[in-house]
């Protein structure tokens, strides 16, 4: 009988573990290689990236009646965080499978 090795690649606290600069770089690479981007928007890639960086870098939240600015990672409640998480995990999987 052959032994089977099972491996788990669970990610802990994924949204808050994604550095903003990594998210912006992965998005930039994805947009630059998107052949159909001009069909969906008239915005140049540089403008989309500036907007994304602004959205990811200006996360504020309230806890115990005090306001805070998130300084690391992407926000757990932001819709853009889920999109970025998917893009980064896809990029990571592609790079892992090519090595």
Q: Which residues contact 23 (CB under 8 A, 6 or more apart)?
A: 52, 56, 74, 84, 87, 88
| Whole-prediction pTM | 0.75
Summarised one tens digit per residue, pLDDT across range 4-37 is 766 666 666 666 778 899 999 999 999 999 999 9
Summarised one tens digit per residue, pLDDT across range 57-99 is 888 888 899 998 888 888 877 888 888 988 998 998 898 888 8
Q: Kindly list the distances between the CA atom of residue 49 and the CA atoms of 10, 56, 92, in Å, as whole numbers in the listed order.
A: 28, 10, 20
Give the per-residue pLDDT at 34: 94
Give the per-residue pLDDT at 35: 93
Q: In the predicted model, is pLDDT for residue 42 greater than 80? A: yes
């Amino acid at each position: 009988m052959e032994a089977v090795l099972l491996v788990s690649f669970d990610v802990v606290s994924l949204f808050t573990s994604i550095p903003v600069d990594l998210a912006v770089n992965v998005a930039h690479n994805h947009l630059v290689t998107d052949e159909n981007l001009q069909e969906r928007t008239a915005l140049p890639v540089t403008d989309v990236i500036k907007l994304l960086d602004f959205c990811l870098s200006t996360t504020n939240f309230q806890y115990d009646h005090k306001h805070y600015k998130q300084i690391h990672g992407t926000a757990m409640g932001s819709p853009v965080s889920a999109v970025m998480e998917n893009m980064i995990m896809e990029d990571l999987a592609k790079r892992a499978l090519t090595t």
